[in-house]
Structure 1
Amino acid sequence: MTRRAPRRRRAPRLVAGLLVLTLLAVLALPAFVALRVVQVAGRDERVPADAVVVLGAAQLDGEPGAVLEARLEQALSLYEEGLAPVVVTTGGNQEGDRTTEAEAGRAWLLERGVPEDAVVAVAEGGDTYDSLVPVAALARDRGWDGVLLVSDPWHVYRTRTMADTLALPVAGASPTRSGPSTDDSSRKVSYVVRETGGVLVHQARVVLDRARGLVG
C-alpha cells in the first residue's frame, strides 16, 4: 500500500511551484509590454479626431529641437489633411527656460500658416503624464470624443497607456516617421527598453495609487 507524502514535504514543493509561476509572470510582463511597444510603433492611425495632440520635447529659447520639430511636422501634416480642426501643443519648461515646449510648438505652427484659433498651447507638465493631465481636462471641457496623438514611434504605447489612465479619449495615434528616434536604427533596442520600463513604472504607480484610494 502506497503511503501519502507527509504534508511537510509537499509544502516546499508548493512554495517552489508558486515561486516558479511568479518568476514566469515577472518575465512575461516586460516581454508583453515590449512587444506592444514595437507593435504600436509600427501603426499610423490617420483617423478623423477632435484635435491633434502633440507631445512636447526639448526646445531652445523658443526654437523646437529636432525631436519636437519632427513631431510638429507630423501634426501639421495631419492638420493640413483635415483630420482635426485643432492642434494642441503640450509641455512645460525646464529651469532657466524663457518659454515652454508648448509655446515653442505653437509659434512654430503659426509661422507655417495654422490659424491662431486652431492651436491651443497647454504649457504644463515636466513629463508625459503631467502634460496629459491638463489635456484630459481640456478634452472634458470641450466635449471631445477622441484625439489623435503625435509622438515618436517608441513613445506612443506609453502615451496611450497614460491617456487611458486619465480617461483621455484617444481616436488614434500617428507617430513621426522622421527625426532622431527614427533615423538611428541602431538605437531601436534602447528605445524599446526605455519605453518598456516607463510603461511598467507607470502601471506600478497606478496599482499603488488605487490600493491607497488615490485613483479610481
Structure 2
Amino acid sequence: MGSLVWRVFAAAVLAALLLVASTAVAIWWTARQDARPSSDAIVVLGSAQYNGVPSSIFEARLEHAAALWEDGVAPVVVTVGGKAAGDQFTEAEAGRDYLLDAGVPAESLLAVPEGVDTLESMRAVGTAFDERGWSDAVLVTDPWHAMRAERMAEDAGISAESSPTRQGPAVQTRATQFRYILRETAAYLLYRVTGESIAGAPGIG
C-alpha cells in the first residue's frame, strides 16, 4: 500500500511540474507573437500613473498602441484602468491624455476608467464592447502578460489577439523576463483554477 501511495504522489507531483512548465512555455511563446488583424479597437492595458503621467511601463504600451493606430489596425484606441486610493487620475484617463498629446484625435479614443487589475479591466472593456456592438480587439500589454490578458478578454466576450510592446522595463534584461514569466505562470494558473486575479507588479494583477 505504501508503495502505491508513493507512486500516486510522485505521479501527481510530476503532473503538476509538467503543467507549470507547459504554461511557462506557452506564456513565452505567446510573448513572441505579434498579431495585428483589422479589429474594432486597440485595447491598452493600464499600468501605474503618477498624477496623470504614465509610468515607463505604461508609456511603452501607449507608444506601441499609437503606432498600431497609425498603421490602421483599428479606428479606436481604448485605454482602461481605474485609480488607487488618493489618486486624482485613473489609468484610463492618463493613457487617453497621453495619446491625445501624441496626436491621436479625441474621436479615436475611448477611456474606460474601471478596474484595479486585469480581470476587472477586461470585464469593463467587455461591457463597453457590448454597448457599441464591437467584438474584435488587439490587446497591447507587456509580452509576458499577453496570454493571460487574451484569456480574460475571451472570457469577457471579446475575440482578442495581442501585439505586445517590445520596449520598457518589463523586457530590459533576461533576469527581468524570467521573473515576469514566473509571476505570470502563477497568475495564469490561479485564474484558470479559481477564476480570480491577483494583485502584484504592474501588469500582473
Q: Same fold (TM over 0.5)?
A: yes
Query: Given the alignment of the two structures, is residue 65 of structure 1 paired with residue 72 of structure 2, yes or no?
Result: no
Where 1:84 maps in the other structure, the secondary structure is coil
Q: Which residue of 2 aligns with 1:173?
A: 162
Aligned-residue offset at 1:12: 4.3
Q: Deviations over 1:143-168 (max 9, x none)?
A: 22310000001111111122222232
Aligned residue runs from structure 1 range 196-207, under 5 A? 196-206=185-195
Query: Given the alignment of the two structures, is residue 24 of structure 1 paired with residue 14 of structure 2, yes or no?
Result: yes
In 1, the alpha carbon distance for the partners of 2:40 and 2:121 equals: 18
Q: Which residue of 2 aligns with 1:36?
A: 26
In 1, the alpha carbon distance for the partners of 2:136 and 2:192 equals: 23
Q: Which residue of 1 aligns with 2:178?
A: 189
Tell whether the 8 Å contact from 2:135 to 2:157 is kept in structure 1 after alignment. no
Aligned-residue offset at 1:17: 3.2
In 1, the alpha carbon distance for the partners of 2:129 and 2:81 equals: 16
Tell whether the 8 Å contact from 2:80 to 2:91 is kept in structure 1 after alignment. yes
Where 1:88 maps in the other structure, the secondary structure is strand
Q: What is the root-mean-square deviation in Å for CA atoms of aligned residues?
A: 1.4
4+ residue runs of structure 1 moved beyond 6 angstroms?
A: none
Query: Given the alignment of the two structures, is residue 91 of structure 1 paired with residue 109 of structure 2, yes or no?
Result: no
Where 1:89 maps in the other structure, the secondary structure is strand
Q: Which runs of 5+ in 2 are unaligned?
A: 197-205
In 2, the alpha carbon distance for the partners of 1:140 and 1:19 equals: 46
Q: Which residue of 2 aligns with 1:120?
A: 110
Q: Which residue of 2 aligns with 1:101?
A: 91
Aligned residues: 196
Aligned-residue offset at 1:19: 2.2
Q: Which residue of 2 aligns with 1:129?
A: 119
Where 1:137 maps in the other structure, the secondary structure is helix
Percent identity of paired positions between Structure 1 and Structure 2: 42
Q: Which residue of 2 aligns with 1:212?
A: none
In 2, the alpha carbon distance for the partners of 1:65 and 1:35 equals: 28
Q: Which has the larger radius of gyration?
A: 1
